[in-house]
Amino acid sequence: MRKYPSTIKFVLDNKIQEIDFLKTQIKPTTTVLNYLRSLPGHKGVKEGCAEGDCGACTVVIASLNNRGELEYVSVDSCLVFLPMIHGKQLITVENLSANDGHKKVLHPVQEALVDNDGTQCGYCTPGVAMSLFALYKNHENPDKETITNALTGNLCRCTGYRPIIDAATQMFHSGTHDHFCDNEESVISLLKQINERKPPIEIIAEDQHYLKPFSLEDALLLRKQHTDALIIGGSTDVALLQTKKRIHLTKVFDISSVDELDFIVEDHNKLAIGSGTSLEELHNYTKNRLPYLSEILRVFGSLQIRNMATIGGNVGTASPISDTLPVLLALESKVRLMKNNGQRDLSLEEFIVDYRKTAIDKDELIVMVSFSKPKKSETIKSYKVSKRKDLDISSVSACFRISLSKSHTVDKILIVFGGVAAMPVRARKTEGYLTGKTWNRETVDSASQILLNEFQPISDARSTREARQLMTRNLLIKFWDETNTKTEKSIGYEN
């Protein structure tokens, strides 16, 4: 006898849609993009790259927050597996206009795009419209930075961005009330209905096994029984195995709906971040508190990527170019691992053991990343060097953390680089040289010579080995320059 349901339910076109994978030919890791393109009424969504880079596939997902309200986020539907939208509302470009009984009435987003000539060939337009729609639902009068940030994940090769940005400004002129506001109560009631009972979902179909727990208890129990399943948090890394490397994912363990993993808790001394916290939630939380973390998150992927990607996933990749790792290492973070009958805390440095390899056991999950709040007297700065500012992979990233004595000598310094070795690493030789010395340009120049030879990075499409070595040296000098500027505020933890 089967133990768990194999049906997913979500709201589309204001109705609950059900997919029982045992009764269809749909494989569980079908992306939301491919599913929508198979429906007669939802072909507006487009595929450009199938890897999260172009935004042509952008849709909006609305879900209930812990206050029972709807929250709208833009996502790249090419990276979202169908079961990930269970219990949520899926909104596509076809849903934007309203019907007043006689004719279709354009949504303010669409009207503004038309008025401002915000489209030419139109291939990117459904995705652009959906990014603007998410902006419309989350802001009232956004500044230009907020508008451009909402559009960083949308490539347009012909219109140019000025008319689109103008449209984004104009769409707020008539206020922020739309037909979605009128319909919210009904959608909330449908979503509550779906989310009433939450046994795990287990789908064994089309040569795949897909597990989706909703509570931490179920997740740990199922993990014990299915240690061979591939964990997904936001799937922004894992989905590419399917869409780009064409790997058949045989067994997937989807923890994207375990709410207990989605938290940020702060006390006087410590900040703890649940592994399921999205990078955009973390970006917003850290904005006026931890500039060195929020700055690196600002240039992390695009808004669509950050809305899905989790901190647990970024740590879980153990990638040498994972952008949060240098900062988290400089903060001397700890990773909490949990299994069915226990938990342990490892320092992040112990946790990452090799190229994309971690010390996690097969029956464990990453549940939390935490660190002690730096003292106000400490200065911390992070940097990302990439070919373009947005939506690009780091050539080199770095985080520097320093505390100076009253006599301006280096009490403690941590220097961490990404992109220069098989995993993010501390520049221990350079740190050792600087410790105890006067923090002046002469010392930094000598240290930079040590740093220049401390790592033997590889050459690849993003950068040569020599350029990477120069970047490490130049970033140290930049850090010195910025900390030494008299007007520069010491960047410690700011409440």
The site for ligand FAD (CB under 6 A) is made up of: 51-53, 230-238, 240, 255, 275, 300-301, 305, 308-310, 312-314, 316-317, 322-323, 360, 365-366
Q: Which residues, 6+ apart, have CB-to-CB distance to 225 below 8 Å?
A: none
Asked if residues 55 and 124 have their Cβ atoms less than 8 Å apart, the reply is yes
CB of 429 to ligand FAD, least distance (A): 26
Please say which residue, 366 or 471, places its beta carbon nearer to ligand FAD. Answer: 366
- Out of 16, 22, 105, 121, point to the residue binding ligand FES (CB under 6 A): 121
Using CA atoms, how far apart are residues 309 and 419, in angstroms rounded to an integer? 20
Residues 146-175 that bind ligand FES (CB under 6 A): 156-159
Which amino acid is it at 158? C
Residues 383-422 that bind ligand FES (CB under 6 A): none
Query: 314 is in the binding site of which of ligand FAD, ligand FES, none (Cβ under 5 to 8 A by kind)?
Result: ligand FAD
Please say which residue, 104 or 157, places its beta carbon nearer to ligand FES. Answer: 157
At 16, phi and psi to the nearest 5? -75, 125
**Angle 347-349-350 from CA coordinates, rounded to 5°:** 70
Q: Where are the beta strands (DSSP E) in 130-171?
A: none
Interaction mask 60-89, ligand FES, x per CB under 6 A: ----------------x-x-----------
Query: 60 is in the binding site of which of ligand FAD, ligand FES, none (Cβ under 5 to 8 A by kind)?
Result: none
Q: Which residues, 6+ apart, have CB-to-CB distance to 73 below 8 Å?
A: 60, 61, 62, 63, 134, 280, 307
| Helical (H) or strand (E) element with 265 | strand 264-266
CB of 267 to ligand FES, least distance (A): 39
Query: 300 is in the binding site of which of ligand FES, ligand FAD, none (Cβ under 5 to 8 A by kind)?
Result: ligand FAD
Please say which residue, 300 or 417, places its beta carbon nearer to ligand FAD. Answer: 300
**Angle 58-199-5 from CA coordinates, rounded to 5°:** 80
CB of 156 to ligand FES, least distance (A): 3
Please say which residue, 110 or 333, places its beta carbon nearer to ligand FAD. Answer: 333
Please say which residue, 108 or 312, places its beta carbon nearer to ligand FAD. Answer: 312
Query: 365 is in the binding site of which of ligand FES, ligand FAD, none (Cβ under 5 to 8 A by kind)?
Result: ligand FAD
Using CA atoms, how far apart are residues 286 and 292, in angstroms rounded to an integer? 9
Asked if residues 316 and 366 have their Cβ atoms less than 8 Å apart, the reply is yes
Using CA atoms, how far apart are residues 232 and 333, in angstroms rounded to an integer? 22
Query: 211 is in the binding site of which of ligand FAD, ligand FES, none (Cβ under 5 to 8 A by kind)?
Result: none
Handedness of CA 333, 339, 344, 346 (dihedral sign): negative
Specify the residue for token string 């009490």.
411
Query: 158 is in the binding site of which of ligand FAD, ligand FES, none (Cβ under 5 to 8 A by kind)?
Result: ligand FES
Using CA atoms, how far apart are residues 104 and 474, in angstroms rounded to an integer? 57
| Helical (H) or strand (E) element with 286 | helix 279-286
- Out of 8, 50, 299, 367, point to the residue binding ligand FES (CB under 6 A): 50
Q: Which of 248, 229, 394, 407 is nearest to 325 (CA)?
A: 394
Residue 119 interacts with ligand FES (CB under 6 A): yes or no: yes
CB of 98 to ligand FAD, least distance (A): 33
Residue 240 interacts with ligand FES (CB under 6 A): yes or no: no
Q: Which residues contribute to the site for ligand FES (CB under 6 A)?
A: 47-50, 52-57, 76, 78, 119-125, 156-159
